Amino acid sequence: MPDNARLLLLDRDQAAALLRPDDVLAAVRESFLLHASGAGRIFPLVREALPAGVFGIKSGGVAEQDLLGMKAAGFWPGNRPLGADGHQATIILFDPATGRPQCLIDGNAVTTARTAAAGALGLLALARPDSETLCVFGTGVQGAAHVDYALRVMPGLKRVRYLTSDGRRDPQFEARFAQRCDIAPGADADAAVADSDIVITATPGRGPLFSAAAVRPGTHVNCVGSDTRGKRELPDGLLALARTWADDLAQARAIGELQWSPDTPAAELGALLARAAPARHGIAADAITIFDMTGIALQDLSVARMLHQRALANGTGTSIAWPW
C-alpha cells in the first residue's frame, strides 16, 4: 500500500484569503447547473438538534469531476459569550476512487461566501434589474455578506435599510457599507419592507419578521435563515401570493420556508439559471418572487475544490503525512 499520501489542511485565515467574490460566484453558479443537470448529486441531509446546538452534515459529489466530499456544520449559540462564532463548519474533500481524504478546510468563511453568492445569483435571476432599495433583516455575518454581494451584482442599488433583533443601530454594519450606499436602520419592519424592491432575511429564524401585506408587488425576497425544522422568517400567506424557487425543493420543503406550506408550487433556481435567460424572464413585473435558500452540498464542494486547487498551486496550507 502507498505510504506517501498527504492531507492538506486549510485553516480559517488561509481559506478566507483564497476566497475571491467573482470566483465564488462562478463556482456556486456551476454547482446550481450541476444540480439541475443531474451531474451533481446531493446525498440525504443530516440535521439534528443537540443539547448545545444543532449539528448537520451535507454531502455529495460529481462523478465526472472526481469530486466527493462533505460539510459537517451547525450552530452553537453558547459560542458567542466566549467571543467565538456560533456557526461552525468543517469541509472534507475525498478521493472518490479510494475514499482517502485529500483536503480538510475550515468551512466558516466558505459557508458565508457561498451562501451570499447563491443569494446574489437569486437576485440576478429574480429581482427586478431596476431595483434601487434593499431591506435586510439581520446584521450578523450572513446579513453583512448578503448585502456585500447584493451591492456587487446589483449596481442600481442605492439605499439599504436594516433591522436588528433589538431595534438598536449597528454602527459597525453601517460603516462597512457607508461608502457604497445610503444605509440606515429601518424605523419599522413593515415600513422598511414596503419601501424596498429587495428583501433579505438573514436571522436565526425564530418567527415571521413582517406582515404579508407589507410586501409590494414586484418585490423579491431572499430567505436565508430558515434551514432547520421549526425555523421560519416569512409570514403566513406570503408563499401563496408569490412565485417561489429553491436551491433544492425536497430540502426546502423539509427545512426551509416551504416546510410551512409544502404543497406550494415551486421550482429550482438551477433550472432557471440553466436557461441563461434575462432577469425575471417570463415573470410578470408585479409578481412577488421568493428564493428559499437552504444551501446544498454542491455549493460547498465546488468552492472547496477551487480553494484546494488554488492552495496547491500557490503553496498555501499545511500538508501532513496521511499514510495508508
The predicted-structure confidence for 46-58, as pLDDT tens digits, reads as follows 999 999 999 999 9
Q: Residue 114: what pLDDT?
A: 98
- The mean per-residue pLDDT over the stretch 149-157 comes to 97
Q: Residue 169: what pLDDT?
A: 96
Helix, strand, coil proportions of the chain in percent (round to 5)?
A: 35, 25, 35
Backbone angles phi and psi of 60, in degrees to 5: 170, -170
Q: Residue 4: what pLDDT?
A: 81
Domains, the chain, with CATH or none: 6-110+298-321 (3.30.1780.10), 127-295 (3.40.50.720)
- The mean per-residue pLDDT over the stretch 29-56 comes to 96
- Would the pLDDT of 261 be above 90? yes
Q: Residue 260: what pLDDT?
A: 98
The overall average pLDDT reported for the chain is 96
- Would the pLDDT of 60 be above 60? yes
Q: Residue 82: what pLDDT?
A: 92
pLDDT band at 1 (very low <50, low <70, confident <90, very high): low
- The mean per-residue pLDDT over the stretch 156-166 comes to 97
pLDDT band at 324 (very low <50, low <70, confident <90, very high): confident
Of 92, 40, 22, give the one whose Cα is nearest residue 247: 40
Of 292, 289, 221, give the one whose Cα is nearest residue 251: 292
Q: Are the CB atoms for 10 and 35 separated by under 8 Å?
A: no
- The mean per-residue pLDDT over the stretch 191-218 comes to 97
pLDDT band at 80 (very low <50, low <70, confident <90, very high): confident
Lowest mean pLDDT among 79-88, 114-123, 226-235, 245-254: 79-88
Q: Are the CB atoms for 89 and 79 separated by under 8 Å?
A: no
- Would the pLDDT of 2 be above 80? no
Tell me the pLDDT tens digit for each residue of 267-287: 999 999 999 989 999 999 999
CA 232 to chain centre: 16
Tell me the pLDDT tens digit for each residue of 6-21: 999 999 999 999 999 9
DSSP state at residue 323: -
- The mean per-residue pLDDT over the stretch 223-236 comes to 96
Residues 6+ away with beta carbon under 8 Å from 20 = none
Residue 244, classified by CB atoms within 10 Å of its CB into exposed (0-12), middle (13-18) or buried (19+), is: buried
Question: Would the CA dihedral through 148, 153, 159, 165 be positive or negative?
Answer: negative
Q: Residue 161: what pLDDT?
A: 98
* Spatial distance between the Cα atoms of 75 and 107, rounded to a whole number of angstroms: 13
Q: Residue 224: what pLDDT?
A: 98
Distances 205 to 114, 166, 223, 255, 258 between C-alpha atoms, Å: 19, 15, 10, 11, 13
- The mean per-residue pLDDT over the stretch 199-212 comes to 97
